[in-house]
Amino acid sequence: MLDTQRKSAVSAKKRLLFVGIGMYLGGTEKAFLSLARQIDFDRYDADLLLAKKEGPLLSDIPAGIKVYEMPEFGDMFLLSAANSYKMIADQVIKKHPSSVFRVFSYLVRLLLFKKKRQSIATSMWIDFMRRYAPVFDNGSYDAVISFWGDRAMFYAADKVKNAAKHITWLHFDYGNPPRDNGIYRPYYERCAHVVTVSPSVDAALKSAMPDIAGRCVSMENIIDSKAIRTLALKGESFPDAGYSGIRIVSVCRLAEQKGVDMIPPVLARLREEGLDVRWYIIGDGDESYRMKLAESALKHGVADIFLLLGPKDNPYGYLRDADIFALTSRFEGRPITVEEAKIMLRPIVVTDYVSASDQLDGGRYGMIVPMTEDGIYEGVKKMADSRELRDSFTMELSKHDFGTTANISEFYRLIDE
């Protein structure tokens, strides 16, 4: 009798497939790990399909999750403006020589219609993957979850067979930069749920596509505050231990989206004002953008105080010891790094991206500044100038526990309903 009950319980477990890109040091990967650690593996069998089975966080995936790599064309998930020609030549044309004519037609459109480049590039990616990437067939799944967002969603809908339902996550501001509804709508319509990571991200999507509003579910990412504080006690910190000025830290990719290029001119103005500050950037990115940043730092005479530290598996020691956390993004969804800075009680300065007011309660938990060099300069200067202001934000943050694991029950509801 007991054996029968056990077999029945096992057979009743639902099968989940998460679709992602890689286990790099980004906010999406950290959010996935926080969710994955909460899954009840007595109720669910979970698989993870990655475009590339690589990244420093790969070893952090819970043992209960089986990890697979896409059989081919996973490199296409890393396609960007900087590597597009080489990537398409290597991944598409060399493997399928006849595709050169399709590639040429897209390149012509990219050259002729500059204002529509993002839409054309997205359509090209979907077309190539739909046409050339092999199907992933690993049996039937009760739910396929495109946690990494749009490319994962496109792939899951077109290439993962035998799925009872599709669920996708939206981590970015749909309206900035503008997306092509004609591309996204058919995929969102194939999803039972579109999970948006903040009320403002939810509102932006519903405003763009009111007809899919009924599929939208606003659910903040799961964040384990206890784990972050524990890691902060173990993490390395700034190499210049004897420095006594103001340390500003940003944890972000080196990308135009993150606005890191606005920092050198801001630092130059702060130095002219006589402020003793150093700005540390933790993160990796495109090498050409990194060189652009280094050249700008030299041009503005701040190479000694604009410090690119590279990616860190555990950045929390730096957050622990920073005087100010700053994020200079031109657009965002709901960045995990800001939540981490809140947990570490850091005085925060962020630009006015779509969910900034949600995250900082309209300025209660930190400063929200215009998305310009002047705005960043004024905000950082004000924060760096006033120990009293920094202490007031730290005191306010200390009254709250910003971590959350409660959303796992909402996740289960999406799966089980």
Cα angle, residue 250 at apex, residues 248 and 254 outer, rounded to 5°? 135
* Helical spans, DSSP H, in 160-208: 181-189, 199-208
Quote the pLDDT of residue 11: 54
Spatial separation of the C-alpha atoms in residues 38 and 408, rounded to whole Å = 7
| Phi-psi group of 274: left, alpha or beta (phi > 0 → left; psi -120 to 50 → alpha; rest → beta) | left
In angstroms, how far apart are the furthest CA atoms of the chain? Answer: 80
Evaluate whether 10-71+134-223+406-416 and 226-397 have a shared fold: yes
Other Cβ atoms less than 10 A from the Cβ of 288: the count is 11
Spatial separation of the C-alpha atoms in residues 62 and 51, rounded to whole Å = 18
Give me the phi and psi of 160, to 5 degrees please: -100, 120
Strands (E), 268-380: 277-282, 306-310, 324-327, 348-351, 367-369
- Domain definitions of the chain by residue range: 10-71+134-223+406-416, 226-397
Contact 251, 282 (CB under 8 A): yes
Q: What is the DSSP letter of 234?
A: H
Residues 6+ positions from 91 with CB-CB distance below 8 Å: 73, 75, 76, 128
* Pairing assessment for the beta strands 166-170 and 193-196 based on DSSP bridges: parallel
Structure tokens at 25: 């040091």
Quote the pLDDT of residue 106: 93
Structure tokens at 243: 């420095």
**Signed CA dihedral, 267, 258, 330, 29: sign only:** negative
Contact 85, 104 (CB under 8 A): no
> Between 3.40.50.2300, 2.70.150.10, 3.40.50.300, 3.40.50.2000, what CATH number should domain 226-397 receive?
3.40.50.2000
Quote the pLDDT of residue 33: 96
Nearest to 286 by CA among 258, 266, 265, 316: 258
Print pLDDT tens along the chain (417 aa): 445 444 444 458 999 999 999 999 999 999 999 999 999 999 999 999 999 999 999 999 999 999 999 989 999 999 887 788 899 999 999 999 999 999 999 999 999 998 899 999 999 999 999 999 999 999 999 999 999 999 999 999 999 989 999 999 999 999 998 899 999 999 999 999 999 999 999 999 999 999 999 999 999 999 989 999 999 999 899 999 899 999 999 999 999 999 999 999 999 999 999 999 999 999 999 889 999 999 999 999 999 999 999 999 999 999 999 999 999 999 999 999 999 999 999 999 999 999 999 999 999 999 999 999 999 999 999 999 999 999 999 999 999 988 777 789 999 999 998
Contact 316, 228 (CB under 8 A): yes
Q: Could you name the CATH architecture of 10-71+134-223+406-416?
A: 3-Layer(aba) Sandwich (3.40)
Cα angle, residue 174 at apex, residues 170 and 178 outer, rounded to 5°? 150
Spatial separation of the C-alpha atoms in residues 91 and 397, rounded to whole Å = 48
Based on its alpha-carbon atoms, the radius of gyration of the chain, rounded to whole angstroms, reads 23
Spatial separation of the C-alpha atoms in residues 243 and 277, rounded to whole Å = 10
Spatial separation of the C-alpha atoms in residues 411 and 405, rounded to whole Å = 11
